[in-house]
Amino acid sequence: MTASPGRIGIGLAAVARPAYITSGRGRDLGQQRSVADLRARTWSVLDAAHAAGIRYVDVARSYGRAEEFLAGWLAARPGTDDVQVGSKWGYRYVGGWRTEADVHEIKEHSADAFAAQSAESLALLGDRLGVYHVHSATLETGVLADAGVHRAMAALRDRGVRVGISTSGPVQSDAVRRALEVRVDGEPLFTSFQSTWNLLEPSVGPALAEAAQAGARVIVKEPVANGRLAPGGDDGSPGATGAAAAAARAGVPVDQLAIAVALAQPWAPTVLSGAVTPAQVASNVAAAALAVPEDLEALAEDPREYWTRRSRRAWR
């Protein structure tokens, strides 16, 4: 099957702050990473994405100045009223715009954090904010059992913003299924799920299919595994090397293969590109026209191995 470019979204995690865990940042960004440099780069990526048909933009409070950069881009282009924005609360950016910071973000899933960060998001994005996720919700933080947080998020839901969770880690499925159970005033609270799913880590797929069956929106993040499934990102692991070989046999770049496979999942209406250059945007969008090869299931890693490997990646 093939897909429409409109099913691809653009995430600003890797372009709106000077350091992140994605491979190839030296090649893609160079040393020009001032606020002004990355604002200009973010705007060029957004221009390319919009021209290519992308209409969903993913940001977060912890993505450096992603919300600020996006708000400025939207204000400078008043005709882009067809763009939907999704953001997240639960992490704060504390890197001080330094690539070598000891800590880049801090997690807090309290009602106070939601109140503070949602106010900041709304101040920047206003009624352009269409989706608001708990950032990397897990059972361990307690956010999926916190009635105070749920009530506060329901107030945002009742204003017309879809609320949900993003997930990370080897037990993403547990968080998705627990979130599906949460009700406020008799109605489901969490109706958007943004989870990591890719050729190397597809374990959350059945839970996301359940979410879609329940009427929730599903958004796939990290389809190229933070660069491991992008050109030049093969880290020598069997899965990444196998994906690169499969892409070579298909005659396409490995990022296109990875995104095409994510788009082929019937429960995944939106798949995020993490492009940081217009050329990467073009390559990622081209995935929508690809037919997907079969027999790629063997590329999957053990989820705990995948997430251990990811946790060891340096902020670059």
pLDDT in tens, 185-232: 999 999 999 999 999 999 999 999 999 999 999 999 999 999 999 999
Predicted TM-score of the model (pTM)? 0.96
Q: Please state, for a pLDDT cut of 90, what percent of the chain lies above it.
A: 96
Indicate the pLDDT class of residue 182, thresholds 50, 70 and 90: very high
Number of H helices, E strands in the chain: 11, 12
Q: Classify burial at 80, counting beta carbons within 10 Å of its beta carbon; exposed 0-12, middle 13-18, buried 19 or more.
A: middle
Strands 187-188 and 183-184, how do they pair? antiparallel
Q: Quick one: which of 123, 135, 126, 124 has its CA closest to 92?
A: 135
The Cα-based distances of 286 to 23, 158, 277 in angstroms read: 21, 37, 14
CA distance 151 to 157: 10
| DSSP structural state of residue 14 | T
Indicate the pLDDT class of residue 2, thresholds 50, 70 and 90: very low
Backbone φ, ψ for residue 116 (5° rounding): -70, -45
Residue type, 292: V
